[in-house]
């Protein structure tokens, strides 16, 4: 196949109408992976044999059933790549760390099981910052992931491979995790749509923990519709993750919507190209008849500081199990970023500093959450940048951890408040690198965000794009 389909609808229509088979799809994707993976460093494990086996099953199902099969298998024939932090039964899972270089899990994550039952075809496990510690994709123990739009630039982190695999057209969909922008940043840097869901919307069972009170699991695709269809399958209680709630999802959207814009999201430090792009996006929503309302969120200036106190404290606790006895190899295999976060976390939890740092951070987190809730009493969504700059060059921030951490400055609020946020691509920089924005919403408002995103796509004539490699 020369032209691979770029959406779930296009893929399933082609399969049903016998324009191509699932085996032919897998052939094409694996060919692209074989051709470009060495340069981009996206896939850590390629599951070609398993993919062909599943593709043959898909073709067999399509041979004997009609289009109604999609009600039983809503993602039939959809290829997926998993961030290498999702456990996959019988398939190596490393979390991007040499500590787990040879780890073969005995079971799969809930999300993996659900996507497989829905008919997806796994192509493999993709690179990520080790333990999900990073904003650029440069912290993996197996080498940095490069941005397919320009391999001199970062792919974004920590779900770097999840995004790069899509923009390099090595898969149709992927999964990631978001503790502070780790699924939104890579999507933003690769011209993709991604969803950081409400905390408690999707089970994290079988996903290696980073910071348990902040971690979320989310889908990534090339359109809002693709992300929504993945979310439909991924969401909901599983009996393993006690934070997940079964709720009556409100899919009906109010006839009149309001989007808030906080001045705190457009202040100093924001790249002029990113700022201009946000204002262009606001004009599109205004054209759609959506009211834009100015709001104030004074506590958000503390969000990034609060996040890095709470996150490092939880990292130090979660990584304690990887001691070479219970799990993984020797602790000497930990990379520099993991060591840094363990030390910071141990410090803020230590006697004499717990009250001064961790406890205070938790109090400010509550203040931020309450402030966000108050804002969402006035508006249905907030628009904000995903990152303060367009994609930056590989190596540009590696020697300045503080500068790297500030990449997350616009992402932290949603994670601290537990609210959903969706990254949406829009335009390109003067260097022809992807730009975009995020829409935040109140807890469990994912379908309102999907509606807003689809309205935006329709109004702008959005078409999925992949990088020309």
Catalytic residue positions, numbered: 83, 158, 182
Closest CA to 437 of 270, 217, 240, 207: 270
Closest CA to 91 of 125, 116, 117, 115: 125
Contacts of 420 (CB under 8 A, 6+ apart): 195, 196, 197, 198, 201, 414, 440, 441, 443, 444, 445, 446, 449
Structure-block tokens of residue 75: 């993602």
Structure-block tokens of residue 126: 């993709």
CA dihedral 246, 386, 42, 153 (to 10 degrees): 180
Residue 17 CA to residue 12 CA, distance in Å, equals 8
Structure-block tokens of residue 161: 């491979």
- Please report, in angstroms and rounded to a whole number, the separation of the first and last CA atoms in the chain: 17
């Amino acid at each position: 196949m020369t032209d691979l389909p770029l959406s779930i609808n296009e893929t399933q229509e082609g399969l049903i109408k016998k324009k191509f088979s699932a085996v032919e799809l897998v052939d094409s994707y694996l060919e692209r992976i074989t051709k470009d993976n060495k340069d981009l460093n996206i896939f850590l494990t390629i599951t070609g044999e398993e993919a062909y086996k599943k593709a043959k099953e898909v073709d067999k199902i399509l041979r004997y059933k009609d289009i109604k099969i999609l009600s039983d298998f809503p993602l039939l024939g959809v290829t997926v790549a998993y961030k290498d932090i999702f456990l996959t039964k019988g398939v190596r899972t490393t979390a991007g760390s040499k500590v787990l270089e040879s780890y073969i899990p005995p079971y799969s994550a809930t999300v993996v099981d659900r996507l497989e039952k829905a008919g997806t075809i796994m192509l493999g496990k993709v690179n990520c910052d080790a333990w999900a510690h990073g904003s650029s994709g440069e912290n993996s123990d197996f080498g940095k992931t490069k941005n397919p739009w320009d391999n001199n630039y970062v792919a974004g982190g920590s779900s770097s491979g999840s995004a790069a695999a899509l923009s390099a057209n090595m898969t149709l969909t992927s999964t990631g995790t978001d503790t502070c922008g780790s699924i939104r940043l890579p999507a933003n840097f690769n011209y993709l749509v991604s969803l950081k869901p409400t905390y408690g919307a999707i089970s994290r069972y079988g996903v290696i923990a980073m910071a348990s009170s902040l971690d979320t699991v989310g889908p990534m695709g090339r359109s809002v519709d693709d992300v929504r269809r993945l979310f439909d399958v991924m969401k909901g209680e599983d009996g393993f993750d006690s934070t997940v709630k079964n709720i009556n999802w409100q899919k009906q959207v109010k006839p009149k919507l309001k989007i808030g814009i906080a001045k705190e999201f457009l202040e100093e430090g924001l790249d002029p190209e990113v700022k201009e792009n946000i204002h262009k996006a606001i004009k599109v929503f205004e054209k759609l008849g959506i009211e834009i309302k100015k709001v104030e969120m004074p506590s958000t200036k503390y969000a990034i500081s609060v996040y890095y106190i709470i996150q490092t404290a939880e990292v130090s606790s979660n990584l304690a199990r990887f001691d070479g006895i219970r799990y993984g190899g020797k602790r000497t295999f930990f990379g520099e970023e993991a060591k840094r976060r363990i030390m910071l976390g141990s410090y803020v939890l230590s006697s004499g500093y717990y009250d001064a740092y961790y406890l205070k951070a938790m109090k400010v987190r509550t203040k931020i959450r309450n402030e966000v809730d108050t804002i969402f009493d006035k508006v249905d969504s907030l628009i904000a940048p995903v990152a303060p700059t367009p994609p930056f060059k590989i190596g540009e921030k590696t020697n300045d951890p503080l500068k790297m951490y500030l990449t997350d400055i616009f992402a932290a609020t949603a994670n601290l408040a537990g609210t959903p946020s969706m990254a949406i691509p829009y335009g390109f920089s003067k260097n022809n690198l992807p730009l975009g924005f995020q829409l935040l919403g109140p807890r469990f408002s994912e379908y309102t965000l999907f509606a807003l995103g689809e309205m935006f796509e329709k109004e702008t004539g959005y078409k999925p794009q992949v990088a020309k490699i």
